[in-house]
Amino acid sequence: MTTLLLPPARLLLRLLERLWLVAVLAAGWWFVSADSTSVYFPALSAIWDALVSGITSGTIRTDVTYSLTNIVLGLVLATIVGTALGILIGELERLRQVLDPFLQFVRSVPQSALIPIVIGALGIGQAPKIYMIAFACVWPVLLNTIDGVRAIAPEVRDMAKAYQIPHSLRLRRMVLPAAMPQIMAGVRVSLAVGVVVMVVSEIFSATVGIGHFINTAGSVFDISAAWAGTLVVGALGYLLSLAFIVVEKAMLGWYFKSAGASSGGATTRTRGKATK
Amino acid sequence: MTTAEHLDLLDERRARHPLAVKGLSKSYGEGSTAVRVLEDLDVRVEPNEIVCIVGPSGVGKTTLLRCLAGLLAPTTGAVMFGPTTMTGPILEVGVVFQDYSRSLLPWMRTRENVSFPLQGKGMRKAARRALADQCLNAVGLPDAGRKYPWQLSGGMQQRAAIARALAYQSEVLLMDEPFASVDAQTRFDLEDLVLHLRKRLGISVVVVTHDIDEAVYLADRVVVLSGHPAHVVDVVEVPFGQDRDQIQTKAEPAFTEARARILGRIRR
Amino acid sequence: MTIAEKLYPPSVAPNPKKPSGRRRVRSRKRIGLAAWQLGTALLIAAVWTLVYESGLLSRELVPPLWDVAREFVTLAGTAAFWAALATTVSNALTGLAAGIVVGVPFGLLLGISQAAYRSAQFLIELGRSFPVIALLPVMVLVLGATSQMEIVVVFSGVLWPILVQTIYGARRIDPVIADTVRGYRIPPLLRFVKVVLPNAAPFAATGVRIAASASILIAIGVEVLSLTPGMGGNLARAQTDGAPALALAYVVYAGLVGLAMNKILWTVEGRALAWNRRATRSEP
Ligand SMILES: Nc1ncnc2c1ncn2[C@@H]1O[C@H](COP(=O)(O)OP(=O)(O)OP(=O)(O)O)[C@@H](O)[C@H]1O
Ligand SMILES: [Mg+2]
């Protein structure tokens, strides 16, 4: 954000500094692969052509729309369910203790192991994929929400009690915002998990989607198209994480600003625990 | 500090009932491992009075204050507000916590923080806002309503916490080491603010502190706790009336005398 | 898979209510808790059976619990299963080791040089948000459905959390310490050994822990998709062969492997870096 305030020359320099390496690598790839005869590593120009034709005349646009719909819906579903359940479990200490071993176990199951079962059982439609993404994404959100709720400072809870804040208001205006930094940390993890599950579910069995695009291209030995699809997935992942940062900034404006303003304002015990 | 004007919404305020503990004992834990912290305490706070509670660290001051606030249930004995026995927090008793940086919510502007408990009481938005602004005025923060707590200094945050307690109908303010984490000058200002609010609004105040000078400067009576389990070892009357001055009052012989007496009781 | 997991082991999670020395009450409470947990387990089993009997969900998804239990026990007696388990774990660990060998030195390098960091930042952001599993179809064509291929994919996934955490640790030096170092004109090499390394170590360790659970996730994902030998391959084959109970038994084992991995890494990390645990945080 400070970059915007810089004079144009400095700004340009900054941009150059950030972009040169990627540009050099891309250029290197372009020229080194220019007269590649390898089937597996086609020339970047060929990949580029495959990408352009995939976008203009092929299915890439529909595929990307399909995949994006799945990941967004799955993630939103997971966030809503995970936050609601997380607040419930975090608020009820006894319930949390009872559920703890189950949560620990389910969380440890590699989500990728469930994909063949769920897809095999529910079919290859869009809904099973969304549920699968939501199911994989719900755990990081849930566990982070629980931790976030439990980390609310005792002073804050005392305050709510002393001022007799009613339940619904307390949950809405106090517990939810206090846990929000950790909830967002969970959503960020979920986003990464979700993109993987999205791709995997489409590779595993689908008739549309960017994962399906790569898979079919690979199975008919259209390697350039497979590489092009892979690059699209990379771009998709990057754009989704950018979008996440925008959302996070919007949701947690107070948090980032207060962290910058003072060491105080810590209404929960250190958000850093999110990864630690 | 700026003298507060237009406090008409607060003018009705006046402590009407004494707050008292009768034969209060408090133990933590249960069964054979219970630890008794407070033993058979009788403390009474008359309307419009300032009572300070002093005692060595760990003696049970916070425990007593939390009982007074209705946040902790006594093991035996009772907390009485006027004629009624308290079973939980009530509207008339407001609490100012020591750690203001935690009890003010960083995602709300200061005005919202002050009016948050009022929202819980179902007050309408316009009324909430007017009352919050007046309370912020009363504590000398007329312009802080739009700022976030973390944009305020420590002293200003503690003022905001006081404003929140005032906004909440409270006739009695309970404060647990309220000025422990602000610098000396701010501390004097806040002490004067408490004296001013008491006079202006006719409220009663209970202040837990470990600073004996502060206790004598603020209090009409100082309650000294000591021992394990803690009991009241002394009650010191301080005869300075409602108007006090940081320099003159502290120079009076009666001040030094009260101070020495309390110190002696705690040391022993 | 980029930033794979955060997550605490149950024992390290903060516990706001600490009862003080009430052992008898506590042990009674613990028995009560165990009873509740047992009850919950029975409830889950009952719901599961009910769903199976009613046919509400496809029986491929919900095989009888008893069958799953039987397969679970039978599996433990077969050599093929243990071979598959060993393959999966060793592939995951090999990829992880490669990730450490590459990620930590590069992370330190990028951490101490501002210019290098700024130049590489965009590349790293691209890399860490890239879902490596998308490489799979291409990799299967290039390397075949082999362990090497699996290791390469795991490596390209686990590299990023290690790299990012190490960079963060090497860059994040307390301003007071930084000033002290500058004030006493500590030479660069000494500074690197005595200040940068110890600072970065706990963060790198966290990166490794995150990467470790990611490595299992990726390894199984690769196997499931490409039918590469290993637990994931067996699981997917069981499913397509119409043996859902066997597939679920594999899932349970996969969960146990994940759980064990987490536990071990937490213990190791905690032992090695106990001095530092309190003082540091890692990047969210
Ligand atoms: N929740 C609790 N469970 C068990 N024991 C407690 C609890 N809270 C306080 N105690 C114990 O009760 C005693 C009194 O604590 P309290 O916090 O009331 O002291 P204090 O006078 O406020 O001390 P300080 O001046 O340090 O704030 C202490 O010995 C403390 O260990
Ligand atoms: Mg105390």
Q: What is the pLDDT of residues C239-258, one digit of tens each?
A: 888 888 898 899 899 989 88
Chain C residue with Cα closest to B28: C20
| Coarse DSSP helix, strand, coil percentages of chain B, rounded to the nearest 5 percent | 40, 25, 40
Q: Number of folded domains in chain A?
A: 1
Q: Residue A204 corresponds to which tokens in the numbers above?
A: 């595993």
Ligand 1 pocket test target in B61, B97, B174, B179 with most atoms within 8 Å of CB: B61
- By the 8 A CB rule, do B99 and B263 touch? no
Confidence grade of residue A69 (pLDDT, cut at 50, 70, 90):
very high
Residue B37, classed as helix, strand or coil, is: strand
CA A222 to chain centre: 29
Query: Which residue in chain B has the smallest CA separation from A265?
Result: B101
Chain C contact for A61 (CB, 8 A cutoff): no
pLDDT of residue B3: 43
pLDDT at C282: 40
In this prediction, residues C79-97 reach a mean pLDDT of 93
pLDDT of residue A271: 38
CA distance B7 to A134: 54
Lowest mean pLDDT among A257-266, B111-120, B200-209, C47-56: A257-266
Distance of CA B141 to the CA centre of its chain: 19
pLDDT at residue A209 is higher than 70 = yes
Query: Does the structure show a pLDDT above 60 at A260?
Result: no
pLDDT tens for each residue of C109-127:
888 888 888 888 888 888 8
Which pLDDT score, from 0 to 100, does residue B6 have?
55
Residue whose CA is closest, atom 25 of ligand 1? B57
What pLDDT is recorded for position B93?
Answer: 86
For residue A160, the enclosing domain spans: 61-251
Could you tell me which of C264, C280, C243 has the C-alpha nearest to residue C165? C280
Rounded to whole angstroms, how far apart are CA atoms C146 and C228?
6
Residue C50 CB neighbour total at 10 angstroms: 11
More confident residue, A2 or B19: B19
Q: What is the mean pLDDT of residues B30-39?
A: 82
Tell whether the model's pLDDT for residue B214 goes beyond 70: yes
Q: Cα(B199) to centroid of ligand 2, in Å? A: 27
Q: What are B26's strand-pairing partners?
A: B38
pLDDT for the residue numbered C160: 92
Q: Is B58 in the pocket of ligand 1 (CB under 6 A)?
A: yes
- Among B52, B54, B63, B64, the mutation site with the greatest number of ligand 1 atoms within 8 A of its Cβ is B63
Question: Residue C236, Cβ neighbours under 10 Å: how many?
Answer: 25
pLDDT digits (tens, 9 = 90+) for B127-186: 888 888 888 888 888 888 888 988 888 888 888 988 888 888 788 989 988 888 778 888
CATH number of the domain encompassing residue B179: 3.40.50.300
Q: Among the residues of chain B, which ranges form H helices?
A: 61-68, 100-103, 110-120, 125-138, 154-167, 184-201, 212-218, 248-251, 253-267
Residues within 5 Å of ion ligand 2 by Cβ?
A: B 62
State the pLDDT at residue B95. Answer: 87
State the distance between the two ends of chain C, measured CA to CA, in whole angstroms. 16
Determine the pLDDT at residue C210.
Answer: 84
> Please, what is the average pLDDT of chain A?
83
Structure tokens at C244: 């859902």
Q: Residue C152 — pLDDT band, cuts 50, 70, 90?
A: very high
Share of chain C above pLDDT 70, in %: 84
CATH number of the domain that residue A124 is part of: 1.10.3720.10
Q: How high is the pLDDT of residue C158?
A: 93
Q: Which ligand is nearest to the CA of B59?
A: 1
Domain membership of residue A159 (yes or no) is yes
Task: Report chain B residues whose CB lies below 8 A from the CB of C24.
Answer: 31-33
- State whether residue B81 is helix, strand or coil: strand
Q: Is residue B181 part of a domain?
A: yes
Which of B235-244, C67-76, C89-98, C189-198 is the most confident on average?
Answer: C89-98
* Chain length of chain C: 284
Is A154 within the bounds of a domain? yes
C139 touches C152 (CB < 8 A): yes
Residue B103 placed within a domain: no
User: How far apart are the two ends of chain A, measured CA to CA in Å?
Assistant: 28
Structure confidence at residue C24 (pLDDT): 57
Q: Is the CB of residue A203 less than 8 Å from the CB of residue A215?
A: yes
- Whether B135 maps to a domain, the answer reads no
Per-residue pLDDT, B7: 61
Q: What is the pLDDT of residue B4?
A: 44
- Residue A49: inside a domain: no
The pLDDT of residue C153 is 93
**Tens digits of per-residue pLDDT, A84-126?**
999 999 999 889 989 988 888 887 888 778 877 777 766 778 8
Lowest mean pLDDT among B29-38, C9-18, C63-72: C9-18
Q: Residue A26 CB: number of other CB atoms within 10 A? A: 12
Task: Tell me whether residue B165 is in a domain.
Answer: no
pLDDT at position C277 = 47
Instruction: Give B28 Cα–ligand 1 centroid separation in angstroms.
Output: 9
pLDDT of A79 reads 96
What is the CA(B67)–ligand 1 centre distance, in A? 12
Whether residue A5 lies inside any domain: the answer is no
Ligand 2 centroid vs B85 CA: distance in angstroms?
Answer: 24
pLDDT at B1: 42
Look at residue C175 in the predicted model and tell me its pLDDT: 67
pLDDT for the residue A5: 59
**A149-158, A226-235, B68-77, C268-277: the lowest-pLDDT one:** C268-277
Query: What percentage of chain C has pLDDT greater than the value 90?
Result: 21
Residue A188 in contact with residue C284, Cβ under 8 Å? yes
Q: What is the pLDDT of residue C15?
A: 39
Average pLDDT score over residue span A227-254: 89
Q: What is the pLDDT of residue C89?
A: 94
Q: Which residues are CB-contacts of A52 (< 8 A; sequence separation ≥ 6)?
A: none
When pLDDT is cut at 50, 70 and 90, the band that residue C90 belongs to is: very high
pLDDT over threshold 90, residue B237: no
**Structural domain boundaries, residue B182:** 3-92+170-267
On whether any CB of chain B is under 8 Å from the CB of C22, the answer is: yes
In a domain, B211, yes or no: yes
DSSP strand pairing (B19-28 vs B35-45): antiparallel
pLDDT of C77 strictly over 70: yes
User: What is the rounded average pLDDT of the residues C94-115?
Assistant: 91
Say yes or no: A178 contacts chain B, CB-CB below 8 A. Answer: yes
Q: How many domains does chain B have?
A: 1
Which residues in chain A touch residue C116, judged by CB atoms under 8 angstroms apart? none
| pLDDT confidence of residue A6 | 64
The reply to whether ligand 1 has any atom less than 6 angstroms from the CB of B28 is yes
B204 lines ligand 1 (CB under 6 A): no
Does the Cβ of B61 fall within 6 Å of ligand 1? yes
Residue C171 has pLDDT above 50, yes or no: yes
Work out the pLDDT band at A187, boundaries 50, 70, 90: very high
Q: Which residues contact B141 (CB under 8 A, 6 or more apart)?
A: B110, B152, B156, B159, B160, B163
Q: Classify strands B19-28 and B93-96 as parallel, antiparallel or unpaired.
A: unpaired
Asked if residue B245 is part of any domain, the answer here is yes
Whether the per-residue pLDDT at C21 is higher than 70: the answer is no
Chain C positions in Cβ-Cβ contact with residue A226 (cut-off 8 Å): 137-138, 141
Kindly report the protein residue whose alpha carbon is nearest to atom 18 of ligand 1: B60
